[in-house]
Structure 1
Amino acid sequence: MKAAVMVGYNKPLEIQDVELAEPKANEVLVKMSATGVCHSDLNALNDESTPIPTILGHEGAGIVAAIGPNVTKVKVGDKVALSWVPYCGTCEFCITGAVQLCESAFGPMFNGTLLDGTSRLSKDGQLIYHNSLLSTFAEYTVVPELSCVKLPDEMPLAQASLIGCGVATGFGAAVNAAKVTPGSTVAVFGIGGVGINAIQGARISGASKIIACDVKESNLEIAKKFGATHTINVSKEDAETALKDLTGGYGVHFAIDCSGHTRATEDAWRGMRKGGTLVVVGAFNPALALNIPAGGFHRVGKVIKGSFYGDTQPYRDFPRIAQLYLDGQFMLDELVLDRIQLDNINSAFDSFHDCNCVNVGRSVIEFKSVFEEKPDDDKILIVS
């Protein structure tokens, strides 16, 4: 199969012909139909801890082409979205429902293997590593069954490919982590691929005011199309003052920080009312400090919590988001910024370095339909 292979740090991906072994027990072979190119893929490309060579890509959708022994959740022909957060299904966190906090599967993920510690990818006998147990920048992929979530048959796969990363994280930050309530006020800091979906989650939850906070005017305008009722350019206005002005002097009930900047988290805290909840989903630079006022901390009753992957439970949340889209309540079409072929993948990476490029959405790689030869020479068309 063809795949985009990371051959070095900060180097363009190379389109190569690679080999993919069949799925083992509890694994699924997926014919990729579409995959988004996420900024986290660029982070992996620039990260010297990423094993080389590897096939990147961690958000995608496709059709089940084969299943290994013991697989029961999907069957051949199912449309599936892939979850990049691995979980074992048996540890303390998994059995209590907090699958996003599973630690057991992260060792294999960081080592670039599947859950059993081995790889299904190779080229001319040389091992190639997996990325986030998915490696979606390829025509086919073998993934753990627990990474494979069945979707409705009518779900278009370019849109479905986005569900498993920024969409689920942003939606989950509002719905699962913050638990936004009807009639409440919500501020979202950082209007990118995650923040725009936090806005959607707040809208679907029935918030009365949704205030988008960013430094980029174009992103603030886009936010209005997804449900923001008000916007604040935090490079021009004091966020605390502006939020309180919009909420009768009290501050917002909920704040969701998707920016990854501690300054934004501090602004969100100050702009939130007593008893409010602040959810942080952006990844901080560990060299920075987060300064929350200590004086009177216990008196304000505020909650601050980190949320990994939007507290998402893929088997619950992916189908829900897909159905909301099919019902016309969740905007996914608008998040597909452009559709490209695998050969053009490096152009998508180049766009991350252009500050004028729209970053509220994804470039989506679509794979062409392919024919597979069966032993009896019949041909099966797998439609992407």
Structure 2
Amino acid sequence: MKAAVMTGIGAPLEIQAVDLSEPKANEVLVKIVATGVCHSDLNALNDATTPTPTILGHEGAGIVAAVGPNVGKVKVGDKVALSWVPYCGTCEFCVTGAVHLCESAFEPMFAGTLLDGTSRLSKDGEKIYHNSLLSTFAEFAVVPEMSCVKLPDDMPLAQASLIGCGVATGYGAAVNAAKVTPGSTVAIFGIGGVGVNAIQGARIAGAAKIIACDVKTANLEIAKTFGATHTINVAQENVEEALKELTGGFGVHFAIDCSGHTGATESAWRAVRKGGTVVVVGAFNSTVSLSIPAGGFHRVGKILKGSFYGDTQPFRDFPAIAQLYLDGKFMLDELVLDRISLDEINNAFNSFHDCNCINVGRSVIEFETVPALKGNSGTDELEIVS
């Protein structure tokens, strides 16, 4: 198959023909139809701990082409969105509903393998590593069954590809982690691919005021189209004073920090009212520290909560988001900034270095028109025919 291969840290991806083995037990072969290019892919490209060669890509959607033994959640021909954090379903976190905290995926994820510690990817007999247990920058992917979430048949796959990362994280930060309530006030810090979906989550949860906070005027204008009722340019205004002014001096009920900057979290903490909640989904640099006032901490009753993946439960949240989109209540079309071919992938990576480039959405790689699909056995395998 054709794939974009990372051959070295920071090096341009190379379009190569690589081999993909058939799925094993509890694995699914997916024909990738669309995949988003996320800033996290750039982070992986520049990360010295990423094993090479590897095929990046973790925001994908496609059609189930074959299933391995013991697979029961999907069948051949299903449209699926892919989750890059599969879970075991049996550990202490999973059985209490906190599937986003399951640790089963992380050891193989960091090792560049699938869940059993091996790879299905190779070239000329030499192993190629997986990325986030998915590797969607390729025409096909073998992935864990727990990464495959069935979607409605009428769901377009370019839009569906974005659900599995930034969309679910932002939506989940508001709906699952913060638990935004009807009539409440919400501040969103960092209006990028996650922040706009936190805005959408807050809107769907019924917030009365949704206040977008960012340094980019263009992003703040875009935020209004996704449901922000007010905007604050934090480079031009005192964000804490502005938020309190918008809330009768009390501060917001909820603040969601998608920026990854500790300064934003500190501002969010000071800008939420007594009993308010601050949710952090942005990843901090490990070399910095977070400082919040210790004096009177117990008296203000505030909650500071970290949220990984927006506390997402993929098999619940992905179909819900897809249905909200199909019902006209969730904006996904506007998040597809550009539709490109796999051969143009390095251009998408280069755009991340342009500070003027709009980052509220994704470039989406679309593979050639989905070929005719012919069931070989009706349940186990799909023959791809031209």
**TM class, shorter-chain normalised?**
over 0.9
- How many residues align? The count is 381
1:165 aligned residue = 165
Task: Report the residue type matching 1:275 in the other structure.
Answer: G
1:198 aligned residue = 198
1:352 aligned residue = 352
2:311 aligned residue = 311
Is the 1:251–1:271 Cα contact (8 Å) retained in structure 2? yes
Q: Alpha carbons of 1:99 and 1:375: their partners in 2 closer, same or farther (altered >3 Å)?
A: closer
> Is residue 262 from structure 1 mapped to residue 267 from structure 2 by the alignment?
no
Is the 2:336–2:361 Cα contact (8 Å) retained in structure 1? yes
CA offset at residue 211 of structure 1? 0.2
SS of aligned partner of 2:365: strand
State the alpha-carbon separation in 2 of the partners of residues 246 and 156 from structure 1.
39
Is the 1:112–1:132 Cα contact (8 Å) retained in structure 2? yes
Is the 2:374–2:385 Cα contact (8 Å) retained in structure 1? no
State the alpha-carbon separation in 1 of the partners of residues 245 and 167 from structure 2.
30
Is the 2:374–2:384 Cα contact (8 Å) retained in structure 1? no
> Is residue 126 from structure 1 mapped to residue 156 from structure 2 by the alignment?
no
SS of aligned partner of 1:212: strand
CA offset at residue 91 of structure 1? 1.5
State the alpha-carbon separation in 2 of the partners of residues 346 and 130 from structure 1.
19
State the alpha-carbon separation in 2 of the partners of residues 255 and 87 from structure 1.
28
State the alpha-carbon separation in 1 of the partners of residues 383 and 93 from structure 2.
41
Q: Alpha carbons of 1:15 and 1:373: their partners in 2 closer, same or farther (altered >3 Å)?
A: farther
State the alpha-carbon separation in 2 of the partners of residues 244 and 135 from structure 1.
45
2:49 aligned residue = 49
5 Å-filtered alignment, 1:1-384, equals 1-368=1-368, 369-370=370-371
4+ residue runs of structure 1 moved beyond 2 angstroms?
A: 369-376, 379-383
State the alpha-carbon separation in 2 of the partners of residues 375 and 240 from structure 1.
61
State the alpha-carbon separation in 2 of the partners of residues 371 and 148 from structure 1.
21
Is the 1:64–1:79 Cα contact (8 Å) retained in structure 2? yes
CA offset at residue 65 of structure 1? 0.1
Q: Alpha carbons of 1:157 and 1:374: their partners in 2 closer, same or farther (altered >3 Å)?
A: closer
SS of aligned partner of 1:201: helix
Is the 1:84–1:147 Cα contact (8 Å) retained in structure 2? yes
SS of aligned partner of 2:287: coil
State the alpha-carbon separation in 2 of the partners of residues 88 and 69 from structure 1.
17
Is the 1:86–1:132 Cα contact (8 Å) retained in structure 2? no
Deviations 1:151-193 (A, max 9, x none): 0000000000000000000000000000000000000000000
Q: Alpha carbons of 1:308 and 1:70: their partners in 2 closer, same or farther (altered >3 Å)?
A: same
Task: Report the residue type matching 2:362 in the other structure.
Answer: R
Q: CA RMSD in A?
A: 1.6
Is the 2:65–2:383 Cα contact (8 Å) retained in structure 1? no
SS of aligned partner of 2:44: helix
SS of aligned partner of 1:143: strand
Structure 2 residues without counterparts, runs of 5 or longer: none
Q: Alpha carbons of 1:375 and 1:360: their partners in 2 closer, same or farther (altered >3 Å)?
A: closer
CA offset at residue 258 of structure 1? 0.3
State the alpha-carbon separation in 2 of the partners of residues 191 and 336 from structure 1.
16
CA offset at residue 104 of structure 1? 2.3
Is the 1:173–1:198 Cα contact (8 Å) retained in structure 2? yes
Q: Alpha carbons of 1:148 and 1:373: their partners in 2 closer, same or farther (altered >3 Å)?
A: closer
Is the 1:86–1:106 Cα contact (8 Å) retained in structure 2? no
CA offset at residue 373 of structure 1? 9.6
State the alpha-carbon separation in 1 of the partners of residues 300 and 385 from structure 2.
57
Identical positions, percent: 81
CA offset at residue 86 of structure 1? 2.7
SS of aligned partner of 2:29: strand
Deviations 1:256-301 (A, max 9, x none): 0000000000101111100000000000111111110000000000
State the alpha-carbon separation in 1 of the partners of residues 335 and 385 from structure 2.
25
Deviations 1:28-84 (A, max 9, x none): 000000000000000000001000000000011000000000000000000000001
CA offset at residue 103 of structure 1? 1.1
State the alpha-carbon separation in 1 of the partners of residues 385 and 349 from structure 2.
28
Is the 2:185–2:207 Cα contact (8 Å) retained in structure 1? yes
Deviations 1:183-207 (A, max 9, x none): 0000000000000000000000000
CA offset at residue 226 of structure 1? 0.2
CA offset at residue 112 of structure 1? 0.3
State the alpha-carbon separation in 1 of the partners of residues 375 and 318 from structure 2.
33
State the alpha-carbon separation in 1 of the partners of residues 95 and 147 from structure 2.
16
Task: Report the residue type matching 1:12 in the other structure.
Answer: P
Task: Report the residue type matching 2:309 in the other structure.
Answer: Y
Task: Report the residue type matching 1:39 in the other structure.
Answer: H
Q: Alpha carbons of 1:373 and 1:255: their partners in 2 closer, same or farther (altered >3 Å)?
A: closer
State the alpha-carbon separation in 2 of the partners of residues 297 and 375 from structure 1.
64
Task: Report the residue type matching 2:331 in the other structure.
Answer: M
